[in-house]
Amino acid sequence: MSKSVLGLYNDPNQAADAMDALKNAGFAQGTFDVLTGTPYPEGAFGEHVPQHRLFRFPAFGAIIGFTLALFLTAATQIAYPLVTGGKPILSLFAMLVILYEMSMLSAVISTVVGIVIESRLPNVNPGVYDNRITEGLIGVVITTDDDKADTAIDALNGAGAMEIKQA
């Protein structure tokens, strides 16, 4: 069985010390995390710098949107071939507007999907948490096996945790 342990801190320095203590106690990066109510500068707690692939999402989205728009505009004009001013039926310049808008729309939607997926949301089982984190407390949370929970609690307490919660 695994257990989730949360240490709460008032001071960012203590939270950073707790992260170091967990590392020194032999816990692997990725098994513990820091929770804050506001973004802190990257690496402020000595945390593992998260990697993401968000930039791929808008590119794929734009390609899909462009392809759909090309099909939609071309098929529409071929289905109802209305010659206007002697211009070609497939008037590429006039189609550009819709190609552009649909590419951008698809890029935006896929970026939003990317943000949600890369943020590991929706998180249906968020584990141990404390509402005071959004009031300024800093939480250091670790998920570990039952038999290592005491080691984690000792590390968190050693850094000056004001409170420990378990789930």
Which residues sit at the interface with another protein, rule CB under 8 A? 33-42, 45, 47-50, 52, 54-55, 58, 72-73, 76-77, 79-80, 82, 84, 91, 94-95, 97-98, 100-102, 104-105, 107-109, 111-112, 114-116, 118-126, 129, 131-136
Using the minimum distance from each CB to another protein, give the nearer residue, 81 or 147: 81
Using the minimum distance from each CB to another protein, give the nearer residue, 119 or 150: 119
The residues that bridge with 166 in the sheet, in sequence order, are 5
Using the minimum distance from each CB to another protein, give the nearer residue, 25 or 98: 98
Minimum Å gap between C-beta 147 and another protein is: 25
Minimum Å gap between C-beta 45 and another protein is: 8
CA–CA gap between residue 103 and residue 56 (Å, rounded): 14
Backbone angles phi, psi at 35, to 5 degrees: -120, 130
Candidates 128, 126, 131, 123; CA nearest to 140 is 128
Query: In this structure, are residues 33 and 47 in contact, taking their beta carbons and an 8 Å threshold?
Result: yes
Residue 59 CB contacts under 8 Å (≥ 6 apart), including other chains: 107
Using the minimum distance from each CB to another protein, give the nearer residue, 53 or 147: 53
Minimum Å gap between C-beta 49 and another protein is: 8
Using the minimum distance from each CB to another protein, give the nearer residue, 50 or 150: 50
Q: Look up residue 138 and give its amino acid.
A: I
Minimum Å gap between C-beta 10 and another protein is: 11
Minimum Å gap between C-beta 155 and another protein is: 18
Q: What DSSP designation does 43 have?
A: T
CA–CA gap between residue 152 and residue 144 (Å, rounded): 8
